[in-house]
Every structure is written in structure tokens, then in C-alpha cells.
Amino acid sequence: MKYRLLTIVAAILLVIGAGGAVFWFARNNHDLRFPGVVEVQEVRLGSKVGGRVDAVLVHEGNLVYKNQALIVFEAPELKNQKQQMQAKLRQAEAEWKKAIEGPRWEDISAAFAAYGAAQARYERVKTGWREEEKKQAKFDLDTAQADYEQALKEWNRVAGLFRQQATSRLDYEAALAARDRTLGRVNAARARHQMIVIKGSRVEDIEEAARERDRAYANFLQLQNGTRWEDKQLAKAKVDEIRAAADAIDINIAETTVAVPPNLGKAIVEVVAVRPGDLVPPNQPVVRVLRVEDLWVKIFVPETQYGHVTLHKKVKVTIDSNPGQILEGEVIQRSNVAEFTPRNVQSVDERHHQVFAVKIRVDDPRGVLNAGMAAEVTIPRD
């Protein structure tokens, strides 16, 4: 009886052990395991302007943060251009302010006075000579004629005596010269009398005075109305243009300092490719950094098992440097193009060489992952 009881217990234990073994084997065969490599996002930082390296502020292996300066370039030309542009900006702003405020009250008053003077000159030229000047011209003509008549009589008298040889030739010639001089004065006085009394101002002088008056009046109205809207807009556009050029220079000056972008996050300097004194062309990377918070594990899944790997699926990751520690991961990318297994990665199933690359983002709160580490990814079957 006792022997039979032991037999039954042993059978029951055997069944239980066999069931547990089958359950353990089935559970472990339910998971997919793939070897992979830890990769990290690499960022190459440089300057759009380049130049001669003035200072290197970091070394390989340094942990850097957002907006931290890494490399500084010399920029004397840009600084001179900035000073020139600032001077042009001040000048343009003064012109703009002048256009907005318009003419000064003194300028308007001076223009009005100039218009009044031009109007007076026009009236004077149009009216002609004054009455006093006309009378004076008439008196000068009468006087000249009287002198001429007297000289003419004296010449006739001397000429008669000279014919009778009662006077000398010298007296005759003196009387003749006096007659001719007075005749010239008569002609000059007559011409001036005709100009002043009869004809007055010339038409050309009147027209010129009228044009001068109109121009002075137009200038006065222009100053009185102030600066045109178009001139204000033109002055403002000039200021905006110079400001934009100054901002462009500021952007280039900022590019002379290679810094960590604000949205890059925490990073480690991998390579510093320059030293002080080096000449670097524009758009040339000078520092290579690795994003510490942007790590993932890349695996290659055979085509026969690709259907079990879906986006956002939770997986487990282990690495050799921390045995026994399981890291949580998530499938974030599946390649849509098949490829052959890379030589440095061995698939679990060597018979299937057609594989798809899969990226898995891993939660690494303790910072145990480093680029290039070998990892193993366990993916549960659906």
C-alpha cells in the first residue's frame, strides 16, 4: 500500500514537472531574440561663414549643453562692416526723421520772403521806369538839345569867320568838335528817353521776372505743404533696407561662434577637427557631437519573422556590460526595404539572409548604453 502511494505521488510529480517543462519551453520559444548594436545620433556642427579659428573651447569627451560655445572664429572684417552699416543707418534714420517732421518754420518763412521779393521785382519790371526817372530822361534830352543848338550856332559863326580868314583853323576845329560832342549827347539822351519814357521794360525782362515769381511761389507752397507721402515712404524703405543689411551682418557675426543648438539636448563631444589658427571654409563641420539622449538599438529581422515586429511594440534589451539588467524599449521604426544581412551582424536564423532593419528606442535612465555596444533584443510573439 505504501509503495503504491509513493508511485502515485511520483507520477503526479512527473506529470507536473513535465507540464512545467513544456510550459517553460513554450514560453521561452514564444519570444524572438535578435542581436543588435547600440547606435547614437551624430551631429556635425560648423559655421556658415568660416574663417580663422581664434579659440577652441572644448575637448573630445566633454559633455556640452545647449547654447554652449565650442569654437570661435576671428571676424575683423564683419565688425568693420557692422560699424559702417551703423553709420549709414544713423544717416538714413536722420533723413527719415527729417522727412516725417517736414520743413522748419524758418525755411517756410524764408521761402515766403523770397516769393514776396520776386513778386515785387515782377511788379517793378512790369510797371517800368518811375516817373522821376522819366522826367530826368526828358530833362537830360532837353539839356543835350539846348547844348547842341548852342554849339551848332557857335560852329556856324566860327565857320563863317574861317571862310573869311578872320579866325584860325584851331578855333574852327574846336567849334566843330563841340558841335559833334553835343550831338552825341543829344543822341544818347534821346535813346535813353525813348527807352524809359516810350518803350519801358523789355518783354523778356517781364517774362523772366514772372517766371522767377512763379518759381518762388511754388517753392513756398512746397515747403508749406510739407514732405510728400512718397518721400516719407522712400526714406523709411531706406532705413528698413539698411537695418536688414545690419541684421544680416549680425547673423554672420553670430555664425563666427559655433555653439550647441538650443534644441540639441545633452551631447558629448566626439571629435574636434580644428585647432587655433586653422583656416576653415564656410559650411565646413568642425565639431562632431553625439546626442546622449538619442540612443537606439538597431537589429535586423529576417523576413519570415518580420510580421511579429510592429511599431510601438514593447521589447526588452540587454547588454554584455551589465548582465542581468533588462532595459525597456519600444520599436520606433521599421525599414520598408529589405537587404542582406550585414557582415558584422549575425541573425539568429542563419538560413534567412533577407532581413529588415528595425530601430528600437531604449529607456536608459542610468546611462549604461554607449554607441557601438552589442545588445540583445527580446521581442514577444503576438
List, for residues 69-94, the tens digit of each pLDDT value.
999 999 899 999 999 999 999 999 99
Domain count, the chain: 1
Q: What pTM did the predictor assign?
A: 0.57
Average pLDDT over residues 124-149: 84
- Interhelix angle for 203-225 vs 105-127, to 10°? 160
Those residues whose C-beta lies under 8 Å from the C-beta of residue 96, and which sit 6 or more positions away, are 232, 235, 236, 238, 239
Structural domain harbouring 291: 30-63+271-380
pLDDT digits (tens, 9 = 90+) for 160-183: 888 888 888 888 888 889 888 988
Nearest-angstrom CA–CA distance, 287 and 269? 7
Is 262 domain-assigned? Answer: no
Q: Decide if 206 is inside a domain.
A: no
Q: Within a domain: residue 333?
A: yes
In the chain, % of residues over pLDDT 70: 88
Q: How far are the Cα atoms of 33, 54, 73, 216, 252 from residue 279, in angstroms, in the given order? A: 50, 10, 9, 63, 17
pLDDT for the residue numbered 220: 86
Task: Report which of 268, 211, 287, 258 is spatially closest to residue 72, judged by C-alpha positions.
Answer: 258
Beta strands in the chain (DSSP E): 31-47, 51-56, 63-64, 69-73, 257-259, 267-272, 279-280, 284-302, 314-319, 327-334, 339-340, 354-362, 374-380
Task: Using the predicted structure, report yes or no on whether residue 358 has a pLDDT greater than 60.
Answer: yes
pLDDT at 239 over 90: yes
Question: Looking at residue 15, what is its pLDDT?
Answer: 39
Q: Is residue 346 part of a domain?
A: yes
Q: pLDDT, tens digit, for every residue of 138-164?
A: 888 889 898 888 988 888 888 888 888
Instruction: Report the CATH number that the domain containing residue 330 is assigned in CATH.
Output: 2.40.30.170
- What is the per-residue pLDDT across 275-290, written as a single tens digit (0 to 9) for each? 999 999 999 999 999 8
CB 89 within 8 A of CB 307: no
215 domain residue, yes or no: no
pLDDT of residue 54: 94
Provide the b/e sequence for 212-239 (b: ≥16 CB within 10 Å). Answer: bbeebbebbeebeeebeeebbeebbebb
Across residues 52-57, what is the average pLDDT? 94
How sure is the predictor about 6, in pLDDT bands with cuts at 50, 70 and 90?
very low
Is the pLDDT assigned to residue 13 strictly greater than 50? no
Q: How far apart are CA 63 and CA 68, in angstroms?
A: 10
> For residue 326, is it within any domain?
yes
pLDDT of residue 341: 60
Task: Find the distance separating the first CA and the last CA of the chain, reported in whole Å.
Answer: 49
Is the distance from CB of 171 to CB of 158 less than 8 angstroms? yes
Tell me whether residue 275 is in a domain.
yes
6 vs 40, higher pLDDT: 40
Query: Lowest mean pLDDT: which of 42-56, 237-251, 341-355, 362-376?
Result: 341-355
- Give the span between the Cα atoms of 179 and 196, in whole angstroms: 26
| Averaged pLDDT of the chain | 83
The pLDDT of residue 266 is 83
List, for residues 169-222, the tens digit of each pLDDT value. Answer: 888 888 889 888 988 998 998 888 887 777 767 778 888 888 998 999 898 888
Model confidence at 22: pLDDT above 60:
no
Give 247 or 206, the one with higher predicted confidence: 247
Share of the chain above pLDDT 90, in %: 28
Is residue 176, in this structure, part of any structural domain at all?
no
